Amino acid sequence: MDFNLILPMLLIVCIVYTIKTIVDAATRRRIIEARGSEELVRSLLEGDANKRRLASLHWGCVLLLLALALGLIDVLGITEVTPGAIGLLLGATGVGNLVYYLLQRRIR
């Protein structure tokens, strides 16, 4: 892939994420400044903490299974990009998401 395409796409993703973060923080600040009920503020803060914890669990599951798939590709001696290798990586990503889903349901 051409690096002249990757850089603008990455820049756009970073800008969008930054805007989302700023808007979320401003919304929370307005709710707190508007003298929102203590229960609402506590709920917002607990929800954010829970979201961060679950995001870590999600990416941990996905990346762990992707690492196992890459290790399996190395053990099998696959040195070229083949449909089987891509399928193995995509399958590992799917299984990682399913493992996250099951763990997340067990936590709640």
Render pLDDT for 41-53 as a digit per residue (tens, 0 to 9). 788 778 878 888 8
How many domains would you assign to the chain?
2
- Asked if the model's pLDDT at residue 4 lies above 90, the reply is no
Whether 42 is in a domain gets the answer no
pLDDT at position 1: 61
Whether 16 and 69 map to the same domain: the answer is: no
Whether 55 is in a domain gets the answer yes
Whether 54 and 88 map to the same domain: the answer is: yes
pTM above 0.75, yes or no: no
Q: Yes or no: say if 100 and 62 are a contact pair by the CB < 8 Å rule.
A: yes
Q: Could you tell me the residue range of the domain that residue 62 belongs to?
A: 50-108
Handedness of CA 7, 13, 17, 19 (dihedral sign): positive
Whether 1 is in a domain gets the answer yes
Whether 18 is in a domain gets the answer yes
pLDDT tens per residue, range 41-84:
788 778 878 888 889 899 999 999 999 999 999 999 999 999 99
* Mean pLDDT of the 80-103 span: 94
Whether 62 and 106 map to the same domain: the answer is: yes
